[in-house]
Structure 1
Amino acid sequence: MQISLTQAIYKNFLGHAPDWYKQVIVGFLILNPLLFTFVSPYLAGWVLVLEFIFTLAMALKCYPLQPGGLLLMQAIIIGMTSPEHMYHEIKTNISVVLLLIFMVAGIYFMKELLLYLFTKLLINVKNKRALSLAFIAASAFLSAFLDALTVIAVIIAVGMGFYSIYHKVASGKDFHHDHDHSSDDDVEQPSRDDLENFRAFLRNLMMHAAIGTALGGVMTMVGEPQNLIIADKAGWDFGEFFVRMSPITIPVFFAGLLTSYVVEKAGWFGYGAKLPNVVRNILSDYNTHMDEQRTTRDNARLIAQALIGIWLVVGLAGHYAEVGLIGLSVIVLATAMSGVIEEHALGKAFEEALPFTALLCIFFGIVAVIIDQGLFKPVIEWVLSYEGKTQLVLFYLANGALSMVSDNVFVGSVYITEVTTALHNGQITRDQYDMLAVAINTGTNLPSVATPNGQAAFLFLLTSAIAPLLRLSYGRMVYMALPYTIVLTLVGLAATYFGLYELTDTLYDLHWIEHHNAAAGVPAAPSPH
């Protein structure tokens, strides 16, 4: 049946997305210039931010790059921001862009080792609560020394490996057969029920691991991009950053582990899913099969990947180069030692990272709109008008709230810049500045777990290839993160209120602050008490 050109254009617009979704996006594109021109640029800016969040929330209906990109292009055309400002934001965050391009691809070439190690873990640890704690603790530890995006890329690679192994067997194929694991057409009962239970089980592990990246990432200056920015402006080294954050990060870490145990034991918020015995048996058979089939060359690859993994941890912990460049070195080393030298074989490693990299650049364009329209300025000025512990609490909460709707890297950068300016202008003392820097860092890292757009690692998980396979939607991620959001936010808030002044007194007693101030050229100040 022939259709008109107009119908064809409409059908092509956003492809297989539902009609209602297409109509909503068209409505957004009609509304925005009217609001900007005739009502208020400030209001139009906030509406654009909410529209972009909507595209993220509907990621399983349509990848956010296309609708979000259309909204941003229109915003640039009508004058909400400029291409130059967007380019500036991308350049400012080039380390994150390089990390996505190279580090995620580098992890792809180490998936053989990762699958080997995590398969052993999954088979040998049969208690789900213990396994969940192992995932969250391992993710936290790795995120304290690596970037959270790197860690979540590892977890995604492991989850994809587990899923594809079972899906292949459930579809009636052997381990060595090629298979499309995105289609369930060949999966019949009772395997289909086991597949749904396995999906729920993997969703649990993915979310625990994602939360773990936040728990570990907040602790050290290399855990998150904004941590580096804050540490640089405050003049803190690795050890001082960890010590200053510890009154908040240590209690929050153990609170996170306790939350994991409770939700798994009680089966709340979608947790508590068990690994079906048939799936465990298949993974065990796969492990045995791979052990039997593994040759000396295969063992040599595993050893090489293990050594590269050590270099990865040491290189990132020591910050010997930008994260993306270390990722590039991993690609070179892993492919050279694995015999992967064909161009088409290399290209597969970049399939996962590049769409998200493009989406992140769109996000930086939205950040440019936020800056140009001054969307956060009233909140910043309001918080700075308070003093003492109230100011600390409000900084923590304001950073957390803004990070939920924006990006924690952007929010942290904006706030630490404003506070540094206040220090230089004599509005606050050095000890106030240090405590505010801690509140900014923890505020951007902890409450932001509430939504996928709050943290790049969560957004990466939502838009990854594994999310639709596990039915991990935006709403489900928010729901499953809710207990952690409540606990981490409240524990962090209490620690901010009761812990920072006590730590400052302790550092004065140890003469740390005097030495730090002297090195920074800041006059000595009395203890806040």
Structure 2
Amino acid sequence: MPLSKAFMLNFLGNSPKWYKTAIITFLIINPIVFFAISPFVAGWLLVAEFIFTLAMALKCYPLQPGGLLAIQAIAIGMTTPGMVLHEMEANMEVILLLIFMVAGIYFMKELLLYVFTKLITKLRSKVVLSVAFCAAGAILSAFLDALTVIAVIISVVIGFYSVYHKVSSGKGYHHDHDHTHDRDFHEQHRQDLQQFRGFLRNLLMHAGVGTALGGVMTKVGEPQNLIIAEKANWEFIEFAIRMSPVTIPVFFCGLATCMLVEKMGWFSYGVQLPKNVYNVLADYAKDQDQNRTQRETAKLIIQGIIALWLVIGLAFHFAAVGLIGLSVIVLATAFNGVTEEHALGKAFEEALPFTALLGVFFAVVAVIIDQGLFTPVINWVLTYEGTTQMVMFYMANGLLSMVSDNVFVGTVYIEQISTALKNGQITRDQFDMLAVAINTGTNLPSVATPNGQAAFLFLLTSALAPLIRLSYGRMVFMALPYTIVLSIVGFLMIQSGFLDDMTAYYYDAGLIHHHSASEVSDSSSGGH
């Protein structure tokens, strides 16, 4: 084999040849466009290329190709290592959340599997079960955060999948088994497996959208919410109250959409749980209940207490989200007998690749800021006034979040309006209303694409997605009814003046208060 061919085979591993060629082409074109045409055009080209790597996540994990693009961007001067580090420092809460909270959930999987197995085996109506998953995703996201919740759901669904796969491969519940390979899987169960995958895709998408419905409501719901809240100096309760004129109507319309698509079987929803699969899961639940030892019962009790601490700790913001996640790891391992280093290491396998990918994200954010990619849009939107200005911010944030990512759109926009406030272009009350429009704009229409929502991207790049055949295109298609409903309801709540009226009522009732212009964080991208 020629050495050149060996290099090409090693480059991005098992990715298709056309994909490797595309990435190499990007790397050749970018410096030419940057130096010969325009840094601004090169910046938008980089954003488009990065989105391409996200869209092709099942061909190759986006960290490697996206990382190469980010390294090149720094090398040719589109941004600096200092700016990337600054973005990461400003978003340290989000990074700690991913490292510690997602790992913490790993040590609570017995409790989660117990609770959700009861749900699936007791709720026989698919419509009721779907609404339960959607509502559970929303409620949990409001008090935890969308990434944590989707990690919970992924853990639960992998549990269901592995139990059925193990039994249908002729093994017992307690046998070792690799559920990622179908070589031992019995042929007569193939049809049930295909249908079960469809059923799990349905539940995952309902729960995923649920994380968006609940995630938009509170300070801890989504990564950019933390950044917006820090910038605006809003605590947990004030954030929730200010968002409620938009988020409450959207929540109920989202649940109604869930019921409708399940009932009608639209957009590949309405897939029923096969009877054979139900029997396996019901037998598994019964076996677990009958053979549960005292030590296993003690584990469930401890995990239940830790779950309570988790909700209370986050609701009252006793510490940064990531630090509460670290406390979950310590408590869950200390009281459940996990003391070996290698047993701890497994918990970080799911979160750390995505944390590294988020680091690349922040490099792209640094390019967006340094090259002023969003500045023309922001300046144009600021030419409008009153409700129209809020509507334009909502729409601009929504569209940009669909094609890029809601975390860095929210981060860049909140920074731009805080700069406008400091420069006297807007008042503090305008800033507060625009912050609501930015938060709802980045959280609601962004369900359109996996790259739009951090939780969706986490799901797409997880080990579960290939198991249940959940691709980028399929996620976009299944999210479409939700995208339409959530975007329109959010738009109407802002455009109709309902947000203005309710905010005025909250001021009069003393539920929220007017802030001064000086009560704005000085950090360049939110956070401390």
TM-score band, normalised by shorter chain: over 0.9
Partner of 1:81: 79
Partner of 2:459: 461
Q: Are residues 1:300 and 2:274 paired?
A: no
Cα distance change, pair 200–435 in 1 and its aligned pair in 2 (3 A): same
Offset, 1:6? 1.4
User: Which whole-Å CA distance do the structure 2 matches of 1:368 and 1:145 have between them?
Assistant: 30
Partner of 2:196: 198
Offset, 1:517? 4.8
Partner of 2:209: 211
Cα distance change, pair 422–72 in 1 and its aligned pair in 2 (3 A): closer
Q: Are residues 1:185 and 2:164 paired?
A: no
Offset, 1:480? 0.9
Number of aligned residue pairs: give it: 519
What does 1:60-71 correspond to in 2, within 5 Å? 60-71=58-69
User: Which whole-Å CA distance do the structure 1 matches of 2:345 and 2:212 have between them?
Assistant: 30
User: Which whole-Å CA distance do the structure 1 matches of 2:449 and 2:330 have between them?
Assistant: 35
Partner of 1:387: 385
Partner of 2:54: 56
Q: Are residues 1:91 and 2:92 paired?
A: no
Partner of 2:131: 133
User: Which whole-Å CA distance do the structure 1 matches of 2:229 and 2:19 have between them?
Assistant: 43
User: Which whole-Å CA distance do the structure 1 matches of 2:102 and 2:507 have between them?
Assistant: 43
Cα distance change, pair 35–328 in 1 and its aligned pair in 2 (3 A): same
Partner of 1:255: 253
**3-state SS in 2 of match to 1:15:** coil
Tell me, yes or no, if the aligned pair for 1:447 and 1:489 is still in contact at 8 Å.
Answer: yes
Partner of 2:485: 487
Partner of 1:504: 503
User: Which whole-Å CA distance do the structure 2 matches of 1:92 and 1:233 have between them?
Assistant: 11
Aligned residue identity for 2:87? E
Tell me, yes or no, if the aligned pair for 2:236 and 2:315 is still in contact at 8 Å.
Answer: no
Offset, 1:190? 2.6
Offset, 1:421? 3.0
Which blocks of at least 5 consecutive residues in structure 1 are unaligned? 523-529
Cα distance change, pair 288–6 in 1 and its aligned pair in 2 (3 A): same
User: Which whole-Å CA distance do the structure 1 matches of 2:324 and 2:222 have between them?
Assistant: 16
Partner of 2:524: none
**3-state SS in 2 of match to 1:453:** coil
- RMSD of aligned residue pairs (Cα, Å): 1.7
2:375 to 360, 374, 377: 377
User: Which whole-Å CA distance do the structure 2 matches of 1:423 and 1:388 have between them?
Assistant: 15
User: Which whole-Å CA distance do the structure 2 matches of 1:521 and 1:236 have between them?
Assistant: 10
CA-to-aligned-CA distance 1:453-505 (integer Å, 9 cap, x gap): 11211111111110111111111111111111111000000001111221234
Partner of 1:309: 307
Q: How much identity, in percent, do the aligned residues show?
A: 69
User: Which whole-Å CA distance do the structure 2 matches of 1:93 and 1:428 have between them?
Assistant: 25
Partner of 2:364: 366
What does 1:256-335 correspond to in 2, within 5 Å? 256-335=254-333
1:107 to 101, 105, 108: 105
Partner of 2:149: 151
Offset, 1:509? 4.1
CA-to-aligned-CA distance 1:60-115 (integer Å, 9 cap, x gap): 11111111111111111111111111111111111111111111111111001100
TM-score normalised by the chain length of structure 1: 0.95
User: Which whole-Å CA distance do the structure 1 matches of 2:60 and 2:236 have between them?
Assistant: 41
User: Which whole-Å CA distance do the structure 2 matches of 1:416 and 1:65 have between them?
Assistant: 26
User: Which whole-Å CA distance do the structure 2 matches of 1:305 and 1:505 have between them?
Assistant: 43
User: Which whole-Å CA distance do the structure 1 matches of 2:106 and 2:448 have between them?
Assistant: 28
1:38 to 36, 48, 52: 36
Tell me, yes or no, if the aligned pair for 2:394 and 2:437 is still in contact at 8 Å.
Answer: yes
User: Which whole-Å CA distance do the structure 2 matches of 1:308 and 1:504 have between them?
Assistant: 36
Aligned residue identity for 1:380? I
Aligned residue identity for 1:301? K
Of residues 16-25 and 121-130 in structure 1, the stretch that sits farther from structure 2 once superposed is 16-25
Of residues 115-124 and 20-29 in structure 1, the stretch that sits farther from structure 2 once superposed is 20-29
User: Which whole-Å CA distance do the structure 1 matches of 2:320 and 2:515 have between them?
Assistant: 28
Tell me, yes or no, if the aligned pair for 2:422 and 2:517 is still in contact at 8 Å.
Answer: no
User: Which whole-Å CA distance do the structure 1 matches of 2:71 and 2:158 have between them?
Assistant: 34
Tell me, yes or no, if the aligned pair for 1:231 and 1:241 is still in contact at 8 Å.
Answer: yes
User: Which whole-Å CA distance do the structure 2 matches of 1:508 and 1:305 have between them?
Assistant: 41
**3-state SS in 2 of match to 1:176:** coil
Tell me, yes or no, if the aligned pair for 1:235 and 1:520 is still in contact at 8 Å.
Answer: no
1:406 to 397, 404, 407: 404
